[in-house]
Every structure is written in C-alpha cells, then in structure tokens.
Chain A
C-alpha cells in the first residue's frame, strides 16, 4: 500500500488504481420474491457508476451483494478478476458509506477514521498521519477530537467518507449517502464527491433514487427497474436516447405520444399520432401499422405559431390547459387532439409572449430530439 496519500493529485489517474468489477447474472430471492432478477454489469477500473432506480428496484440489494452482506441466489461477483462470493465482508477490503452514516458513537472522529487502519494492524503514528491527511481531504481539519453527535449531518457524512477512504481501498460503495441532507448541502457534497473521485482515481459504485444526482456525478448510470437493468450508459446518452419508456420517464421528464407507424426510411420512422405525422430517429425497422410510442423532452419543444416548418422538424397542434411559473422556467401543460398531455418547458425570460389556458398553439421540435421507446 502506497503511503503518499494526501499529496497533490495527478490530473490523469494512473491506470489500475481502482478495482474492476464484474457482475454476472446476479439474482437474489427473498422468500421466493425476486429482488434482483438477473443483473450483469462490467464496471471499469476507476469508473464512477451509479445504480439508479426507485425504491424496491433492487439497487441496494445489488450493492449489498457486492459488499458481501447479502449472498446472491444465483450469479457471480468478481473484483479484479477474482470471485468474491465466498469471501466475508470484512475481508473484501471495500470502503462503504451508508445513508445514516453509521459512525461509532463511542469513538471520536479521529478514532472512527482510524478504525479500519487499526483492523489492518497499522501502527499508532502512521494511523495519526493518515487520519490527519484524510480529514484535510474532506475539509474537516482539526475535527479529530470531536464526537459524532457534536457534528452536523453534512460533517458526519464527510467523516463517514473519510473513514471509508482512509485505508485506500480500490472500491468505494455508497448507499444513498446524501439522502438525509437538505438540497443545498446535497449539491455541494455531490461536487465534492466528484472532486474526490477525480483525485483518488478509485472505482465508485453509488446507489441513489435521485436522477439529478446521478446525472451530475456519474461516468455511467445503470437504471435499475424491478430487479433488472433497464439501460446502462453515460448520462447524456441516457437522457437523449432513452431505450424504453421507464428510462425516458424516470430520468428527466418526457412527453409520450402514441401512434401507428406509416413507414421508415434512412433511420427515420414516420408515425401517425392522432392525425399529425411525426418523425423520430430509429435504429431498427418497425413494421408498418404497428403501434409505437414516441418520446421527447419538454425543454426541446418550442412554440412555433406562424413560422414555417424547418428541416427535420416535427409539428403538432395542441391546446394550452395550464401555465405554471416556476422561477427559472415556465411550464405549459397542453392537450393534443388525441387527448394526450404534453409538457413544454421554456425559460421564463423568453421574448415570446406568455400563452394563456384555452389557446391553441403549434409546437415544434427537432426530429433528432425524438426517440421511439
């Protein structure tokens, strides 16, 4: 183990500082109920991967299996090429941060952070040096003598982080660590974690139900739904090309328009949505006459009354039902001819006039911003 911890970090993480993880066909059943029904994932060394999903989706169970607190019913977990299925949690050498911090109340902050070092037989002076370096890293220098109950929620979380990092693990697991904090604190800690990840270069596996948090922090997001991975990819990929309806609605907001396929040509499919012919980018060739759903993001739409249709643009007429002013943005709820609800989001400082409920409007958005889900 290298003892130069705490020095200025290189801007490019050296290869191999983080663990490589392989999840193969993971399944976990509790009393016959499948919490995890077949998860396979390759996590690269030094990657920040988030398991994102609603409560009960199986994301925490998956994390617990990686940590060793749950045994998979089926499947394998390999860390750095070696299967860890038979290894108990205390021998896996993984750093872990829990939602309720789980700091030892009878130990000081310094003793909490030194705990994993003590288990590894590190001598007292070396322990003290590492504890100080880690406290500085989480921006709590000098807090060593305090007790956890004397700290605020954000400070406690940073101590929990320090404790999980101090023994320089190759993998850090985090189970919704920011869930108990208020919005401002959450956002500043998210950025701090990103910074730490870049500095340390180790693999982070993060569990959360907050899609915004996932988008901000991750290299890749695995969206978990009912025990399976719905889609796995970089944040932008998931946002712009959701593979299915669940991902489209869980990450950000989406408008869904149902219709019947009229034809496909050159990667574009034409769909008849209640009389309006809309186009979407597609990789496959859906058969003519099949029912499909198109999806697009509310902020990609604009009001286009009176202007001519541009190249590769979709047009749709709808009636405004509600106008909601939300500070930065203005949300419009509209109803299409086929009765479907659409949301349009525009910046409230836009030069166009504010529409009112009952008005008919023509909406426009790019075909490239339309996906078939």
Chain B
C-alpha cells in the first residue's frame, strides 16, 4: 500500500485539488450560493448547447453501433491470422491523435478538399458542396473516431460466444438469419451495452472534433466551457463542468446496475 503513496499524493496535488477547486467555484464564488445553477437552468444558450450535445452523442452512438456491429461480427468469425490483421486495421486510427484525425477530416471535407475535388473532376456536381462546418461533418468525424470503442468490446463479447451454440441452433432447424437473431444477438447484448455506454460517455465530452469540423450551431458542452474559461467567467464555466461531470457519472452509475455490463466492460479492456 505504501508504494501507491507517491502516486496518490501526485494525483491529489496536481489533479484532485485543482479539479475540486474549479468545481467549487460553481457554488462558492463569490460566497456559498446556488444562484449560479439557478441561472443555468434558465439560460437559453446552455439549454440549446446541452440539448445539442445529447442529440449529437445519441446520433454518434447509434451510428457507431450500426457500422461497428458488422465489423465486430466479422472479426469474431475470422481465423486468428485474419483477425489479427483486421484488428490492426481497426486500431490504427485509434492510435493516431484525435487532433490529427480531425484535421484529416477537414482536408477531406473542405471546399477544396479531396471529396469535393473528386466529385467536381467526375462532373457529379457543378460547384463544391458545403460539407465542412456542418452537423453532418461533426457526426461523421465523431463516428469515425469513436468506432474502435464500439468495435472492441463488441468483438470481445462476440468472440466469447460458444461456436457450438450456432451449430446446435442450425442443427435444430434455425436458418443463418434465425441463428443470428435468436442466439447471437441476444448473447451479444452485454457487448452492445458496453460499447454504447463507452461511446456515449466519450461523445458528450468531445471537444477538438466539433471545434474543428463543426459550425456555430454545433457547439457542444465542452466548447461552451472552453469559451467561458477564455472569458474568465469562472462560476459559469464551473457550473457547466459540474453538469458535464454529473451527467457522465450518472450514466456510469446507471450502467453499473444493468446486468452483464460490468463484466462486458472488463472483457473489453482485457
């Protein structure tokens, strides 16, 4: 236990205390009051941004689920060699910095970006499409960046499903579609929940990507916090931070109550 001491001290001084101090400003600045939160509840900007954050995160989560499930399914059925290669391909963007990937999307989606240039060259369009600085761009880029977080826990759970179950189901008369719907899908639910939770929690806190590829109406909560800090509006920024933190912790707590999620999260990390 003593060995953990220095680390705990470090975390306390350089992480816990500053965070607590920052969060404290929401209720202690200038004197103990809940007025800051009351203000927040009726603030139109905040409500719009918070709503947008939730909606965007929801769309991104659904997107990663729909795109990631087939990949995870294919991964779970591959032989060791092919699975290793595919896993590498899935993880490669995972290891690239978020900043670099977001910039890459700017290059792809810009007025003079690769997509527009290609479409113009093939005469599919007459003038460049407005792809960048839209909600579409935010959704697309975030889905791309968060896909590995959906694929990995899903693939882990799917791989663990006993292949004898599929064979047994087929032998008992289930067509391949029925085998998927009645056996694989229900058994993959812990993975689906784990992936969904992970992606959603990460989405609501996203900063760089919406800033770089989104428009003024796509502002998410973290952006608002950054803006307010720039304006030295500490109490407001602190309130927003508390809201974000509370939402995240609330979701995690809720998920812990769901059966199988905890074990799925552990499997995803292994």
Interface residues of A (CB under 8 A from B): 67-69, 88-96, 98, 100, 102, 104-106, 115-116, 119-120, 163-164, 167
Most chain A CB within a 10 A radius of its CB, from B167, B169, B173, B183: B173
Residue of A nearest to B179 (CB): A90
B158-174 contacts to A, CB under 8 A, are 162, 164-165, 167-174
CB distance from A75 to the nearest CB of B (A): 21
Contact A94 B171 (CB under 8 A): yes
Minimum distance in angstroms from B82 CB to a CB of chain A: 17
B39 at the A/B interface (Cβ < 8 Å)? no
C-alpha gap A91/B173 in the complex (Å): 6
- Any A CB within 8 A of the CB of B227: no
Cα-based distance from A115 to B171 in the complex (angstroms): 11
Query: Residue A104 contacts which of B167, B176, B178, B183 (CB distance < 8 angstroms)?
Result: B183
Q: Which DSSP category, helix, strand, loop or mixed, fits chain B's interface?
A: helix
- Are B168 and A102 closer than 8 Å at their CB atoms? yes
| Minimal Cβ-Cβ distance residue in A for B162 | A102
Question: Complex: how many Å from CA A164 to CA B167?
Answer: 13
Complex alpha-carbon distance, A339 and B187, angstroms: 62
Cβ-defined partner of A89 (8 Å) among B164, B171, B182, B183: B171
* Residue among B169, B171, B176, B186 with max Cβ neighbours from chain A (10 Å): B171
Which partner residue on chain B sits nearest A119 by CB separation? B173
Question: B164 contacts A163, CB within 8 Å?
Answer: no
When C-beta atoms are compared, the residue in chain A nearest to B164 turns out to be: A102
- Chain B nearest Cβ from A90, distance in angstroms: 5
Expressed in whole angstroms, the minimum distance between the Cβ of A230 and any Cβ of chain B is 28
Question: Which residue of B165, B172, B187 contacts A163 across the interface (Cβ within 8 Å)?
Answer: B172
List B contacts of A88 (CB < 8 A): 170
Tally of contact residues, B, Cβ under 8 A = 19
How many Å from the CB of A164 to the closest CB on chain B?
8
| Shortest distance from the beta carbon of A163 to any chain B beta carbon, whole Å | 7
**Residues of B close to A115: CB separation below 8 A:** 169, 172, 174, 182
- Cβ B187 vs Cβ A96 within 8 A: no
Given A69-B167, A90-B172, A98-B164; 10 other pairs, CB 8 A cutoff: A68-B171, A91-B173, A95-B172, A100-B164, A102-B168, A104-B165, A115-B174, A115-B182, A119-B173, A119-B175
Q: Mark B177-201, 1 if CB is under 8 A from A, else 0.
A: 0110011001100000000000000
A116 touches B172 (CB 8 A): yes
Q: Is B165 touching A167 in the complex (CB atoms < 8 A)?
A: no
Query: CA of A223 to CA of B242 in the docked complex: distance in angstroms?
Result: 73
Q: Which residues of B contact A94 (CB under 8 A)?
A: 171
Is B168 a contact partner of A96 (Cβ separation < 8 A)? yes
Residue of A nearest to B165 (CB): A102
Give A120 to B178 CA distance when docked, in angstroms. Answer: 12
Q: In the complex the two chains form, what is the Cα distance from A102 to B174 in whole Å?
A: 14
* Bound: A98/B186 CA distance, A: 22
Complex alpha-carbon distance, A90 and B176, angstroms: 8
Residue of A nearest to B183 (CB): A104
A88-B171 Cα distance, complex, nearest whole Å: 9
Cβ-defined contact, A67 with B173, below 8 A: no
Asked whether, in the complex, the Cβ of A102 is within 8 Å of the Cβ of B173, the reply is: no
Pick from B167, B172, B176, B187: contact of A119, CB below 8 A.
Answer: B172
In Å, the complex CA distance between A159 and B169 comes to: 14
- When chains A and B are docked, how far (Å) is the Cα of A51 from the Cα of B183? 30
**Closest Cβ of chain A: how far from B189's Cβ, in Å?**
8
Q: Are B168 and A98 in contact (CB under 8 A)?
A: yes
CB distance from A62 to the nearest CB of B (A): 16
